[in-house]
Amino acid sequence: MGIELLTGVLLVCILTFFALGAPVGLALGGIAMIIGYLTWGEGIYNIIPSTIEATYFSFILLAIPLYIYMGQLLTKSGIGDAMFNASQMLIGKVRGSLAISVIAVCSMIGAMVGIIGAGIMTSGSIALRPMLERGYDKRLALGVIMAGGGLGILIPPSIPMIMFAATTHNSVGRMFLGAMVPALLMICLLVTYVIVSCRLNPDKAPLLEEQEGVVALTTKQKFITARDGFFAILLIVVVLGSIITGIATPTESGAIGVVGAIVLAIVFKRFKMEMFQSAGLQTAILVSVAMWIIFGASVFSNFHLLMGVQSMVADFANGLDLPPIMIIIMFQIIMLFLGFIIDEFIIVLMCAPLFTPIAVALGYDPIWFGVLMIINILIAVQTPPYGFALFYLKGIAPPDVGMGDIYKSVTPFILLNLVVLIICMVFPEIVLWLPNKVMG
Amino acid sequence: MVITFLRTVCRSIDMAVMLTGKAAGYLMPFLAFVVAYEVFSRYVLGKPTIWAFDLSLFLFGYIAALGGAYAQQKRAHINVDILYVTVSHKTRCVFNLLSFALGIFFLLVIFKMSFGKFEEAIEFDYRRKSEWAPPMYHFWVMLMVACGLFMAQLGRDMLLDLYYLFTGKALIEQESDDGN
Amino acid sequence: EFNWRFSNLYTRGTAFGAVYEGLAKDIETMSDGRIAVQVLYSGEGVSTEGLLGAVKAGLITMGAPFQPMNAGELPVGVVEVGLPGGTDDPVKLKALFHDQGWGEILEKAYGEQGLVWLEPYIQTPVYIITKNPINSVADFKGLKIRAPGAYGKFLRNLGASPVALSWSEIYTSLATGVIDGSIGSNLIDHRDGNHVEVAKYMYPMPLAGAQVLPIIVNRNAWNKLPEDLQAVVRKATENHAQEQLTKSKLWETEAVTDMEANGLLWSPAASDADKKAWAAAGATLWDEYSAQDDYSKQLIDILRKNQ
Ligand code: NA
Ligand code: NA
């Protein structure tokens, strides 16, 4: 079977089992092993052990359990909520202000983690419930978490950026700086979108005073909220500080966050032994859900790669006979399509070395191209039907949120990302100005 | 008689899966502690450990794999439920039978390969590549347990679906109807 | 007639890729197309870490693995690559493998795990990059250096504290100061990882002489080949070893030029006392590895005898 046909067959199988409502990770792994058995033979099963060792022994993915645990501890102790309550005491009169503080917190989390899973699931653990409890529109709340959590790979540190720089011999520092202004642009657009859409549909984001049965806080309660909120923000600053000052790597800093959350809970007498267990169990379930997807998807993409999907993409990319900017646009479209079936790391691993030399030969700046690739990946992992960000978001969402809700909730935010992608494509200076200014 | 037996089997699987899931949850604070201790030991004591790296990865793997069956029990695994939520209970049972069978096949392959790796690990004394060099065999045993429980849970769920398909009744009462 | 998959230790896009592509072409042309070889890079189906296992299992037919990654599965591979204190002279290395008996021992060690061991090739050695200059061995005291396995033990003997980190966190960790230095699998690796941006100083002495890496083939696939084709593959790996030797020197020079353009500085040359400390730190390692497994002991005994 040719690779084109095989890719088609795999895609049809995925769509079929997704429609049947099969667990995503098991379906992806199972499809790969059945099609693999039919085309390759029993030998394909040997892909399992090496994939297990590559996914379960990845220190980078360790950020997922550590950060989720930190998030769960903050939530279960009530300290996380205090952070948002405190923000509401300050800017609560602005419609949508809670979503805006969530974006701010997500940006800070984005500056701590370097992978999408940790970004979305941590942001979701801390910030989803406060929005839903205050009567925020479900879709707005979910979309904000998705867009905010996705900032994890756009704001440094970012593992995909490090991988891009390494496989294309470019400066990591330049990549990090190059993504800063686009990230800032993204945050501004997010905040603007929240404010505008809440103006247009006030029901999406009720103000606290509009809710029934809300009793005004006493001065003492206000003080406690402000104090707890302040310390919760301080904890985030401390975790960030531990990365910047070289105490811990971005992965390890999650553990510092866990210790900090426990200390805060004890100091503020919010600690219960039962919290340890319930936060741990909740984290274990979320980690399991994420890792079974990552593992199944890795088995799937490893099979697809062994069958030679990369040469199909390479042949296609090399065969493009178009004006330069059209080639760049085609590359973006190819990556968006790859996002249907492949995860963020594999897209970088596969496309960075294939596409970047062509882009450079056409006279484009590699850092600019790299930042476009990162934004593109951000979009690819959010586009239905297959997108890791979508799966992570569903994992963290309440049980009554279906995948249909998720798809609908992310649409406006995907469009915002597309706007940023297009702006960066049209005005390369947005990417290149800062690295050129700082690094010459 | 048969029904009572089936119920007992289902309940035993539920119990084993739940206990294992909870055990995985108890590993979580331990994992955080190991990583935090490495930071402390390196930054404050100036003496990085040789064991924290591998130990944290092992714990991560244990939590991630062993929690799988419990997540299935809680219906926490991610699925694209767009069509799924619109069809009748019986259709849903058919869908489940198909997708769980695929899942069991995948888990069976993992189980089989893990057993092979376990034998190899014992024969050649496979270890991690680090200086600490802890043995690998227990990891493959753990995976066999994790896959075994996951298969048992899926099998139990399939049994319930089959029972409903044929009798129109739930085998176990509190089984929720929305499949979610 | 025969479809082979050949996977190597580098990701797509690195200079070394061309040499492995060359080996694949060679096998195809020299066998008159009877063997077709598909080249795969690290991460394309199998990671560098899983490569040895994948060739054993036959998922990949031929592999160019990086043996320090397999220290737990095949300890003798670490000795094969080269322990601290080993030579970097290609002539001496060739003698070691072909005349003094390393080859036979390795064939047996790999054979035991279902692998055929073919002509090994030499790549340039491992260097340490640090944030501050190393003026003498004493400066290693207390330095946190990312160095796995044997290299970590060696640096501990010199007074440093080896740290275990994943490759993709080296850059950030050097930038923020989690670590004070890191080894790279060679100078080219330091260039590719952009380490010079965050750590300027290269210590001008390699950790071990040179690195010798194997080419391995799954035994079942090998046995299916008629003898003339087996000879073709052997011959192709010999040509490849020659190609690696010239190219890797050239690329190392290029990498150094690139890094110097980005501000790389060299720590001062090591004094005689430093070199002695270096040798002493390596010596105890030889004993440790000898004690670890029988094949390692046999290799090290030969090494000692011919020193
Ligand atoms: Na980040
Ligand atoms: Na997608």
pLDDT (tens digit per residue) in A275-330: 888 999 999 999 999 999 989 989 998 999 999 888 888 888 888 888 888 999 99
Q: How far is B57 from chain C (nearest CA, A)?
A: 12
* Residue A337 CA to ligand 2 centre (angstroms): 7
Q: How far apart are CA A296 and CA A51, in angstroms?
A: 9
Question: Which residues in chain A are contacts of B109 at CB distance < 8 A?
Answer: 33, 45, 48
Q: What single-letter DSSP state applies at residue A61?
A: G
Residues belonging to chain C with any Cβ–Cβ distance to chain A shorter than 8 Å: 5, 11-14, 38, 40, 43-47, 49-51, 53-54, 57-59, 165-166, 168-169, 171-173, 176-178, 191-194, 197-198
Instruction: Name the residue ranges covered by the structural domains of chain B.
Output: 2-167
**Smallest Cβ distance to A23: which of B31, B85, B99?**
B99
Contact of B40 with B46, CB cutoff 8 Å: no
**Mean pLDDT across chain C:** 92
Residue of A nearest to B73 (CA): A285
Backbone angles phi, psi at C36, to 5 degrees: -100, 135
Q: Which chains touch C (3 or more CB pairs under 8 A)?
A: A, B
Contact of A396 with A125, CB cutoff 8 Å: yes
Q: Residue A185 corresponds to which amino acid? A: L
Collapsing DSSP states into helix, strand and coil, what is residue C217?
A: strand
Q: Which residues surround ligand 1, an ion (CB under 5 A)?
A: A 110, 114, 152, 155, 158
Question: Which residues in chain B are contacts of A258 at CB distance < 8 A?
Answer: 29, 32, 36
Please give the pLDDT value at position A92.
77
Please give the pLDDT value at position A215.
62
**Virtual torsion, Cα A190, A196, A200, A204, nearest 10 deg:** 40
Cβ separation C13–A58 shorter than 8 A: no
Query: Residue A43: which of B53, C218, C195 has the closest Cα?
Result: C218
Render A121-189 in DSSP notation, one character per residue. HHHHHHHHHHHHHTT--HHHHHHHHHHHHHHHHHSSS-HHHHHHHHHHT--HHHHHHHHHHHHHHHHHH
Residue of B nearest to A300 (CA): B106
If one compares A202 and B119, the residue with the highest pLDDT of the two is: B119
Residue with tokens 């100091």: A267
Contact of B92 with B180, CB cutoff 8 Å: no
**Smallest Cβ distance to A258: which of B36, B96, B110?**
B36
Q: How far apart are CA B65 and CA B69, in angstroms?
A: 8
pLDDT tens for C103-114 read 999 999 999 999
Radius of gyration of chain B (CA): 20
- State how far the alpha carbon of A325 is from the alpha carbons of A178, A379, A415, A429, in Å: 20, 20, 21, 16
Q: Supply the pTM of this predicted model.
A: 0.92
- Across the range A419-439, mean pLDDT stands at 93
- Across the range C154-169, mean pLDDT stands at 89
Render C85-148 in DSSP notation, one character per residue. T----HHHHHHHHHTSSHHHHHHHHHHHTTEEEEEEEEE----EEESS---SGGGGTT-EEE--
Please give the pLDDT value at position B179.
40
Question: Which residues in chain B are contacts of A284 at CB distance < 8 A?
Answer: 21, 24-25, 27-28, 63, 66-67, 70
**Smallest Cβ distance to B130: which of C49, C142, C148?**
C148
Please give the pLDDT value at position B60.
96
Distance of CA C203 to the CA centre of its chain: 19
Ligand showing the shortest atom-to-Cα distance for residue A154: 1
Q: Look up residue C275 and give its two tokens.
A: 């070199």
If one compares A204 and A255, the residue with the highest pLDDT of the two is: A255
Question: Which residues in chain B are contacts of C145 at CB distance < 8 A?
Answer: none
Question: Which residues in chain A are contacts of B106 at CB distance < 8 A?
Answer: 26, 29-30, 33, 296
pLDDT tens for B34-89 read 999 999 999 999 999 999 999 999 999 999 999 999 999 999 999 988 899 899 99
Cβ separation A350–C38 shorter than 8 A: no
Residue with tokens 């990365």: A243
Q: Look up residue B97 and give its two tokens.
A: 């039978």
Q: How far apart are CA B48 and CA B78, in angstroms?
A: 38
Collapsing DSSP states into helix, strand and coil, what is residue C35?
A: strand
User: Per-residue pLDDT for A391 more than 50?
Assistant: yes
Please give the pLDDT value at position B107.
98
**Smallest Cβ distance to B129: which of C148, C162, C163?**
C148
**Virtual torsion, Cα A23, A26, A29, A30, nearest 10 deg:** -100
Please give the pLDDT value at position A211.
63
Strand partners, C217: C62, C116
Query: Minimum mean pLDDT among A112-126, B132-146, C105-119, C120-134: which range?
Result: A112-126
Ligand showing the shortest atom-to-Cα distance for residue A376: 2
Distance of CA B24 to the CA centre of its chain: 10
Query: Residue C183: which of C208, C159, C216 has the closest Cα?
Result: C208
Cβ separation C176–A46 shorter than 8 A: no
pLDDT tens for B79-114 read 988 899 899 999 999 999 999 999 999 999 999 999
Contact of B158 with B83, CB cutoff 8 Å: no
Q: How far apart are CA B39 and CA A429, in angstroms?
A: 40
∠ Cα B142 B147 B153 (to 5°): 130
Strand partners, C10: none
Q: Residue A75 corresponds to which amino acid? A: T
**Virtual torsion, Cα B102, B108, B109, B112, nearest 10 deg:** -170
User: Per-residue pLDDT for C214 more than 80?
Assistant: yes
∠ Cα A42 A47 A52 (to 5°): 135
Please give the pLDDT value at position B180.
37
Please give the pLDDT value at position B176.
47
Cβ separation C165–A59 shorter than 8 A: yes
Ligand showing the shortest atom-to-Cα distance for residue A162: 1
* Residue A158 CA to ligand 1 centre (angstroms): 5
Render A239-265 in DSSP notation, one character per residue. HHHHHHTTSS-HHHHHHHHHHHHHHHH
Q: How far is C263 from chain A (nearest CA, A)?
A: 12
User: Per-residue pLDDT for C264 more than 90?
Assistant: yes
> How much is the ipTM here?
0.92
Q: How far apart are CA A396 and CA A323, in angstroms?
A: 44
Query: Residue C66: which of C49, C88, C43 has the closest Cα?
Result: C49
Determine whether B151 is exposed, middle or buried from the number of CB atoms within 10 Å of its CB (0-12, 13-18, 19+): buried
Query: Minimum mean pLDDT among A53-67, A198-212, B132-146, C7-21: which range?
Result: A198-212
Please give the pLDDT value at position B61.
97
In this complex, how many residue pairs, one in chain B and one in chain C, have their CB atoms less than 8 Å apart?
A: 49
- Count of alpha carbons within 13 angstroms of residue A5, beta-carbon side: 4
- State how far the alpha carbon of B176 is from the alpha carbons of B18, B80, B171, in Å: 17, 19, 11
If one compares C36 and A219, the residue with the highest pLDDT of the two is: C36
Q: H helices of chain C, where? A: 17-30, 51-57, 76-81, 90-98, 102-112, 149-157, 170-176, 187-192, 219-224, 227-261, 272-292, 294-305
If one compares C232 and B175, the residue with the highest pLDDT of the two is: C232
**Smallest Cβ distance to B71: which of A29, A69, A289?**
A289
Ligand showing the shortest atom-to-Cα distance for residue A155: 1
| pLDDT band per the 50, 70, 90 thresholds, residue A236 | confident
